[in-house]
Structure 1
Amino acid sequence: MISKQIMRSTMTGLLALGAAAAIAAPAAPVKHAVELPPSADLAYDLNAQQKSIGLKGEALIAWRAGDGKYDVNVEAKVQLLGKLNEYRSQGGVDAYGLAPHTFTEKRYRKDATTTTFVRDEKVISFTGVKLPYVMKGGEQDRASVTWQLASVARAAGEAKFKPGSEWTFIVAGRRDAEPWTFKVVKQEKIRTGMGELDTIHVKREPRDSRGDSVEVWLAPAQEWYPVKIRFEDERDTIDQTLKSITKK
């Protein structure tokens, strides 16, 4: 007879295989037509709530695109604390849109992490995580996804990128990857450092209370650049509103 210990070991192994299969089976990829916005430096006024403490500062996004490649670097600084976070995504462009190679992230008082898209092996590896994520195509990272969204919207135009439509991407973070579905909410006028702009408001709702809410306001008349961005989790909020655009 099979001992209870062997049965427990067998069940543990099956559960582990089940977990691995879940990680290795992302949603079916969707190929998107994209039109990347022109290279530019974007400056934003930043308002943050960190553990109920209000902070003000600025955010800078350096977006570069050309020759089948892209590079986006994001820095957020606040008074008193200095640099709050920094993200950088670098990669190319393929049939799915932006195709990240590396994503680095440095948060305030946290060690930097690197997410690597190993395309020859079709896996995503994470700092400090042994089990890689199996790629199927179209995966983004937390810095590239905003620009993937803008590039898809720019190619689709307002006729397709309209209120009620939904756009889903697999997004890799520091330790794993998951689907992010952005829903086009409405057309909206917002005030910025460049005056009042007509925008399209897009929102990603988290799948549970521990997830991140992401809102982006894209301005069709301004090359579909993200002119307002809001990140929110269960404790913190970062709100960025455009001050200026310098095309490169």
Structure 2
Amino acid sequence: MFHAITRTVLGVCLWHSLSALAADSYPATQLAPAAELQYSIKARQSGLSIGGSALVRWQQQDGKYSIHSETRAVLVGKILDTSSQGSIDEQGLAPELFTEKRFGKPQTQTSFDRQNKMIKFSTSAETYPIKGGEQDRSSATWQLIAQARAASAHFTTGSEWKMFVAGRRDAETWTFRVVGTETIRTALGEYQCIHVSKAPPPDSRDQQLDIWLAPGLNWYPVRLRFNDADGDFVDQLLESVNKL
């Protein structure tokens, strides 16, 4: 228990030291325009190959933001429903509530109690302090997009972008690493994309997340791939973008 608490404290301290350093080095954020993005999905879950679709609604206006995402599989229906909402401050997105509903499981809530400066979970007694810049699993991608739009000259191969991210039960520092530039073919045409990868921490069974951001399309994610340690994956490819 002592070692677990020590790792948590050190991780939080390291994150806040790195975020303070980054704030001095780069512009803060430039949020992407509000939009509704539709994706096609190819996936392997529990050894079965399935197809489906995902819809992401990203909105930001008057100092507030919201992100709502629905993922549906053929014959099964909705398998994942997530939402993140909060305010916008000098560091970018400032989540207040993150909810997640997975197929066959109860909904979970992660709350960012900004009055008491504490992150709390509906399924765990863990708590983490809020000092600024913390994200949830939905807002993290859009915070990364906002950072890339504000500091594109620094968003180069090999560069790393860190943020403290809360999930369903706990939180940890995520490190996004810019892999390089790749061409991605979509239903809207081909885009030169910046490939960014978030690998799980050592000795973790967390997902690896790969994102392909298109500078020529407001830096929206044209492809996302989630890889589990057991070989299951979900691969999303952009089908359409509608301005809101």
- Report the CA distance between 1:52 and its aligned residue: 1.2
Query: TM-score, normalization: structure 1?
Result: 0.90
1:67-94 per-residue CA deviation (whole Å, 9 max, x = no partner) reads 1111000110010111110110001112
User: Does residue 1:23 correspond to 2:17, yes or no?
Assistant: no
Partner Cα distance (1:146, 1:19) in 2: 27
Partner Cα distance (1:229, 1:28) in 2: 25
SS at structure 1 position matched to 2:125: strand
Bigger-Rg structure (1/2): 1
**Are 2:15 and 2:164, in contact at CA under 8 Å, matched by a contact in 1?**
no
**Are 1:23 and 1:134, in contact at CA under 8 Å, matched by a contact in 2?**
no
User: Does residue 1:107 correspond to 2:87, yes or no?
Assistant: no
- Structure 1 unaligned residues grouped into runs of 5+: 1-14
Q: How does 1:68-147 map to 2 (within 5 A)?
A: 68-147=63-142
**Are 1:24 and 1:134, in contact at CA under 8 Å, matched by a contact in 2?**
no
Partner Cα distance (1:247, 1:22) in 2: 43
Q: How does 1:152-191 map to 2 (within 5 A)?
A: 152-157=147-152, 159-191=153-185
Partner Cα distance (2:8, 2:44) in 1: 33
Partner Cα distance (2:107, 2:48) in 1: 24
- Report the CA distance between 1:21 and its aligned residue: 4.9
Query: TM-score, normalization: structure 2?
Result: 0.91
Residue number in structure 2 paired with 1:40:
35
**Are 2:41 and 2:54, in contact at CA under 8 Å, matched by a contact in 1?**
yes
Paired AA for residue 28 in structure 1:
W
User: Does residue 1:224 correspond to 2:224, yes or no?
Assistant: no
Structure 1 residue aligned with 2:208, among 213, 217, 222?
213
Partner Cα distance (1:203, 1:227) in 2: 14
**Are 2:109 and 2:121, in contact at CA under 8 Å, matched by a contact in 1?**
yes
**Are 2:226 and 2:235, in contact at CA under 8 Å, matched by a contact in 1?**
yes
User: What number of residue pairs does the alignment pair up?
Assistant: 232
Partner Cα distance (1:128, 1:222) in 2: 38
Residue number in structure 1 paired with 2:192:
198
Partner Cα distance (1:214, 1:133) in 2: 23
SS at structure 2 position matched to 1:110: coil
Partner Cα distance (1:22, 1:123) in 2: 18
- Structure 2 unaligned residues grouped into runs of 5+: none
SS at structure 2 position matched to 1:207: coil
- Report the CA distance between 1:22 and its aligned residue: 4.0
SS at structure 2 position matched to 1:203: strand
Residue number in structure 2 paired with 1:150:
145
Partner Cα distance (1:207, 1:89) in 2: 24
The farther-off stretch of 21-30 and 134-143 is 21-30
- Report the CA distance between 1:24 and its aligned residue: 4.3
Among all aligned residue pairs of Structure 1 and Structure 2, give the percentage whose two residues are the same amino acid. 46
Partner Cα distance (1:134, 1:19) in 2: 16
Residue number in structure 1 paired with 2:237:
241
Partner Cα distance (1:52, 1:131) in 2: 33
SS at structure 2 position matched to 1:221: helix
1:118-177 per-residue CA deviation (whole Å, 9 max, x = no partner) reads 1111110001212312222211111000100111001112x2111110000111000000
Partner Cα distance (1:226, 1:66) in 2: 20
RMSD across aligned positions (CA): 1.4
Paired AA for residue 207 in structure 1:
P
